[in-house]
Structure 1
């Protein structure tokens, strides 16, 4: 048996040859597409540390903007020992096991209310987790016999979400945020968290779970939520987390309707 090669702790980007530092990046500048615009793109690339920088693509985006792709070498090193990630701290369960745990421990359906809040009309994320058709070959939470799903859809106002969660006696609230311009996902999430904590007694707030492609997974505490899931999250991961986190005294104390 051959021994696995030890992975280096300090690395550089790879393009054509190992350690050449080559990277490719794209951006848009608010200038019409001409030679001056291309020069501006190369100037920006140089200030970003690409040397030499090659302009590999430029295309007008309307009359006053240009989209660029640049390619070049950077001198920066990456220290793998300084990289911190959020590890999954709960077991990944099958739908059968999730149902069994809820049935045994909670002895009633686990109630989940989901929505896209604010002006976000992109339901693909919340539907991937909640709808029975699911995502990545896994069925959504509607498939789980012991999970009661209430999907409110898109553009739900925070007060409406809080009110519906109270009506349904939700154990968990799942919010998807895809629109991120001007940090809309951050503002919406902090507003939602504050509203729930104002509307519920201490210790009785439902689990607040947020997902979206632009969230930092380690920012849950800062945003006032219990968990953040990033891109590629599957329904099984969410269901397993809910079983792990929702079956706590604040949830089980709630009497069945």
Structure 2
């Protein structure tokens, strides 16, 4: 469901501070939302009642059960629909804005040559048990993503793509051997916070292997990372779903420029 202002707030209101919005379903400001979930119950009337109770506790009132399907003998999948009692104040919404310009491949290459006077070395991998290389390949491979060519296309970037299920010690060793300026890690498998555990293990290993102030730029990406949690994970940047190669290249240029200025 898309979100619109409440009826008393006009679409042309300037700025976002103080604007309160509700979801939109059938009519403006009705708060209607649809959500799905699975409960560990066989499909019967008790399970359906439990699903509606959960929906009400999550702020849907009234809540309507629109779909229920058994998922084997012990689980049931539900879709519920209802009016959300919750409001969103846009003034309280905090997002991570891009603080650097988005560069073309030509401008990125020129900036790298000017700052480093050599190629920027990028090592990428999926670590741990993660075998999903779609994300890392979209950023690194020349075919790229969303009409943008990957970092292999940039003549001033040397890309070393290690692929899937790379152990952290192997990643650190290869980064040291290649004298990597940046390490890109993709994490798609997120069950039981595997992406969090793998990332913190990876960042700790790099800080142990490198002298202070000489750790490569550590970048992670994946659909379940929380923006703004870089410090907790020990990395320099987090990229979420929909990230393009140009965004990553532009960030790397920005970061190497900042690091050179600090040194």
Equivalent residue for 2:115? 105
Give runs of aligned pairs for residues 16-95 of structure 1, distance below 5 A: 16-95=26-105
Segments of 5+ residues of structure 1 without an aligned counterpart are none
Equivalent residue for 1:142? 152
What's the offset of the Cα at 1:84? Answer: 0.7
What's the offset of the Cα at 1:101? Answer: 1.2
Equivalent residue for 1:160? 170
Deviations 1:138-184 (A, max 9, x none): 00001111100000111111111101100000000000111111111
- Inter-partner Cα distance in structure 2 for 1:191 and 1:71: 41
Equivalent residue for 1:170? 180
Deviations 1:52-77 (A, max 9, x none): 11111111222211111100112111
Asked whether the 8 Å contact 1:172–1:246 carries over to 2, the reply is no
Q: RMSD between aligned alpha carbons?
A: 1.8
Moved more, 161-170 or 44-53: 44-53
Dislocated runs of 4+, deviation >6 Å: 250-253
Relative to the length of structure 2, the TM-score reads 0.91
Deviations 1:90-143 (A, max 9, x none): 110001111111122211110000001111111111011001110010000011
Equivalent residue for 1:130? 140
- Inter-partner Cα distance in structure 2 for 1:142 and 1:245: 19
Q: Secondary structure of 2:132's partner?
A: coil
Moved more, 134-143 or 18-27: 18-27
- Inter-partner Cα distance in structure 1 for 2:256 and 2:184: 12
Give runs of aligned pairs for residues 177-196 of structure 1, distance below 5 A: 177-196=187-206
Q: Secondary structure of 2:66's partner?
A: strand
Asked whether the 8 Å contact 1:176–1:210 carries over to 2, the reply is yes
Asked whether the 8 Å contact 1:171–1:251 carries over to 2, the reply is no
Equivalent residue for 1:210? 220
- Inter-partner Cα distance in structure 2 for 1:156 and 1:240: 26
Counterparts in 2 of 1:100 and 1:45: CA distance versus 1, 3 Å: same
Q: Secondary structure of 1:72's partner?
A: strand
Equivalent residue for 2:20? 10
What's the offset of the Cα at 1:38? Answer: 1.5
